[in-house]
Structure 1
Amino acid sequence: MNAVTPQLLAFLTFIFCAIVGLMVARNLGEREARQVGIENVLTAYAPPPRNPNQAASALARDTLLDKIGNSLIRTKYKRRLRERLVSTGRQDMTSYRTLVRRKVLGGIVGLVYAVATQFDGTFKGAFISVFIMIAGFMIPDVLTYNSGTKRAMALNKALPDAIDILNLCVESGLTFQAAMAQVSTILEGPVSQEFSRVQRQMQLGQPMIASLQDMAARNDSPDLERFVAVIVQADKLGIPIAAVLGEQSREMRMKRRDRAREAAQKVPVKILMPVMLCFLPGIFIVVLGPAVMSISRGL
């Protein structure tokens, strides 16, 4: 029977730690989801608290992972984490606590894996172990940022269609609020979620203009910010919403067409490196291989 190599042992240790971490995170998430009530609903659709320390104290819980996370994460970092979560469409307390727990679990899994496989008592081993632990702690941040970026791209792509539907509904005689409700019912994705959130904020008593401005503030989308600014300006000046929506729809479609052309122009540059690394070596082998073999035999 073959002996277990250090590489195989390290790989099995990493797999075991990853499975244990995922199981613990899943169990914590399911238990937390069962405890979500009206507090999270109000938190998701009401304006966020102005005092970050008050929000941070509201997140403190009795679990060990929460205590570790709150002791490691400072106030500015907490604010940045909440902003990243808001960009993904999740700004309730449960999502924040889940992210903090995943960060702590990632750091613990990275530390266990590094100590079991890399730490040998030297400075190099200690440095690699610390680096792996920090990487495990920061991986949830990267995943959250990536999710927010994809959501912003999906929102920009669907916004012209949403404005078209808004324009049709307003021209048919519906109010702007009723038109937004129709859009949230017809469409799916980030635009529908944001319009639904605006509707719920207005149902809780927040003015329409303030709700729209909150929607623009929590999404990293210049197109959405411009749309909200135009609607707010039209409401202040008394301009008909239908005319504004028609102009906004045409402008958004032109921007989407320009982005598509820009993406198409970037394709040759993006495929250049894969072609050079994967395709050209094979061609060189096929073309020059027989010649090299013939020369080597002649020598």
Structure 2
Amino acid sequence: MLYFTFFLTISFTIYGFYLLRAEKASHLKKRMSAFVGGIKEEAATQDEKTFNAPLYDRIGKPLLNDFKRSFKKRMPGEKEAKIETKLQLAGSPFGMTPVDFRLLQISLALVFPILAGVYGAILNAGYAGVFMFFLVGLAAGSVLPHYYLSMKKKARNKSALKELPDILDLLTVSLEAGLGFDSAVSKVVSKKDGVLSAEFHRSLEELRLGRTRREALTGIKNRIEVEEVRAFISSILQAEKLGIGMVQVLRVQSNEVRDRRRQRAEEEAMKAPVKMLFPLVLFIFPTIFIVLLGPALIQFLQTFSK
């Protein structure tokens, strides 16, 4: 009886171990099936998304990216750096890269002359006229991209100059409240919108990525061509280097910026009479003379005609 009990115990133990192993294998098989099925389903979903995507996303965009990479390899480094500087000063409109800008310039230089030549042919301008239209279109297509960047740069600099006094005041108040410089800049970025706020936000992101404060602030100087902004950044860097209090430096900068703004307003006011002279002579005075002397001249002519 004892042997029989021992045999049953051993048998049930082995059978239980076998069942446990089989259950683990079944569970592992189910998990693998679910994982493989998920991968297949995800791949099928991805293929379906790719198939249902627009033709440009499936074919045109990859071809365009390959063409851009090939074009970038053939683009001179100095030319690329020069265009990159212009784009940064203009605020990188539409997120354009130097390659995008160069391709846009070439495209306009090809399309505008053709359109202008066709327009000249429609007007029956003759061979010389069509050629003149072609040259005008070529000049416009070559100049317009650079002109657009120049206008964007001027608007950006004007906006930065207008925002500077408020930025200085907010920084001063934040520093006086006990915040550190980076925290004060973060507070200003959260409260203000505009060119300078965007630039300071970019500098904070660069600091988080490991760049030094000097490098991040120097980047702002390189991206904004405004004397007051560059003087402000230089004073901050100098104060940090020499250990001078930031609040005192910001107060001095704020007073200087407001003085320069007042001086510019006075200069514009002094230029106003000169600017008004030509419209007065060309448009206002002739109208006044016609209104005042017209009736007398008509009466004079009628009298002498009799």
Question: Fold conserved (TM > 0.5)?
Answer: yes
TM-superposed deviation, 1:62: 3.9
Specify which of 94, 103, 125 is matched with residue 96 of structure 2: 94
Q: Output one character per residue of 1:234-280: Cα deviation in whole Å (capped at 9) or x when no partner.
A: 11111111111111111111112212222222222222222322222
TM-superposed deviation, 1:89: 1.8
Measure the CA separation in 2 of the matches of 1:261 and 1:208.
37
Relative distance call for 1:131 and 1:192 in structure 2 (3 A) is same
Specify which of 240, 243, 248 is matched with residue 245 of structure 2: 240
**Structure 1 portions without partners, runs of 5+:** 1-29, 36-59
Q: Output one character per residue of 1:194-246: Cα deviation in whole Å (capped at 9) or x when no partner.
A: 11011011011000011111111121011111111111111111111111111
8 A Cα contact 1:69 1:104, kept in partner: no
8 A Cα contact 1:160 1:252, kept in partner: yes
Mean Cα deviation higher: 175-184 or 81-90: 81-90
Q: Relative to total residues, which structure has the larger helix share, 1 or 2?
A: 2
TM-superposed deviation, 1:173: 0.7
Q: Secondary structure of 1:118's match?
A: helix
Q: How does 1:1-299 map to 2 (within 5 A)?
A: 61-62=65-66, 76-90=78-92, 94-118=96-120, 122-123=127-128, 125-297=130-302, 298-299=304-305
TM-superposed deviation, 1:190: 0.8
8 A Cα contact 1:69 1:100, kept in partner: no
1:46 corresponding residue in structure 2: none
Measure the CA separation in 1 of the matches of 2:132 and 2:249.
59
Measure the CA separation in 2 of the matches of 1:68 and 1:137.
22
TM-score of the superposed pair, with normalisation by structure 1: 0.70
Measure the CA separation in 2 of the matches of 1:268 and 1:69.
52
Relative distance call for 1:67 and 1:295 in structure 2 (3 A) is farther
TM-superposed deviation, 1:98: 4.7
Relative distance call for 1:67 and 1:138 in structure 2 (3 A) is farther
TM-superposed deviation, 1:91: 7.6
Measure the CA separation in 2 of the matches of 1:144 and 1:91.
8
8 A Cα contact 2:117 2:133, kept in partner: no
Identity of aligned residues (%): 28
* Greater C-alpha radius of gyration: 2
How many residues were matched structurally?
241
Relative distance call for 1:139 and 1:67 in structure 2 (3 A) is farther
TM-score of the superposed pair, with normalisation by structure 2: 0.69
Relative distance call for 1:167 and 1:232 in structure 2 (3 A) is same
Larger RCO: Structure 1 or Structure 2 (Cα < 8 Å, ≥ 6 residues apart)? 1
**Structure 2 portions without partners, runs of 5+:** 1-55
